[in-house]
């Protein structure tokens, strides 16, 4: 079998092509470097931007213990999940501003079933269709980003966070 004088050159060119393909795979494309995400994708990709760290931390905190009452001890927790719990609890307390007859908040923690429930005896969220958005109010406020009852800048609000003149409250925490 006769070998062409160009065969080593062709083989070398083929090897160079393969190496260039490998190098191209290693280099990041402009499209991979610069990306656009939807708000939901961004929240799910970078939850710490919205709720704080999603890594376990250990620190000293005041905690309630049924047997000994309130004590200062080391606790391991996820700050982002703590923030979500805190936000829901503050929202339940804020309901007192809308319903002066509200007199009770209950927090139930069921570790066996991985369940946390926060309940108050105040008026609930109206279950009616929002005429502009064409969806029920609970679906709107818990399922859509950037929804709030705090967009009316003419109305003063007192909330669990601060006395403020209606700052935006977004619904990112409902995604988690």
User: Hey, what domains does the chain have and what are their CATH numbers?
Assistant: 79-175 (3.30.565.10)
pLDDT digits (tens, 9 = 90+) for 134-148: 999 999 999 999 998
In Å, the largest CA–CA distance within the chain is 99
Q: In this predicted structure, what is the pLDDT of residue 165? A: 36
CB crowding 28-61: b at 16 or more within 10 Å, else e: eeeeeeeeeeeeeeebeeebeebbbeeeeeeeee
pLDDT greater at residue 82 or residue 14: 82
Residue 63's DSSP bridge partners are 71
pLDDT digits (tens, 9 = 90+) for 142-173: 999 999 888 888 777 666 654 433 334 445 55
């Amino acid at each position: 079998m006769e070998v062409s004088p160009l065969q080593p050159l062709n083989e070398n060119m083929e090897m160079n092509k393969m190496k260039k393909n490998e190098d191209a795979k290693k280099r990041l494309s402009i499209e991979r470097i610069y990306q656009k995400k939807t708000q939901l994708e961004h929240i799910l990709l970078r939850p710490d931007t919205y709720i704080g760290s999603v890594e376990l931390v250990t620190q000293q905190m005041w905690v309630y213990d049924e047997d000994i009452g309130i004590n200062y001890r080391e606790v391991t927790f996820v700050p982002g999940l703590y923030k979500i719990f805190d936000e829901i609890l503050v929202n339940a307390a804020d309901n007192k501003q809308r319903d002066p007859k509200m007199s009770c908040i209950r927090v139930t923690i069921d570790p066996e079933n991985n369940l946390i429930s926060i309940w108050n005896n105040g008026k609930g969220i109206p279950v009616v269709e929002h005429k502009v958005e064409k969806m029920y109010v609970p679906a709107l406020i818990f399922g859509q980003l950037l929804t709030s009852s705090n967009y009316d800048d003419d109305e003063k609000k007192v909330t669990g966070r601060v006395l403020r003149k209606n700052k935006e409250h977004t619904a990112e925490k409902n995604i988690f």
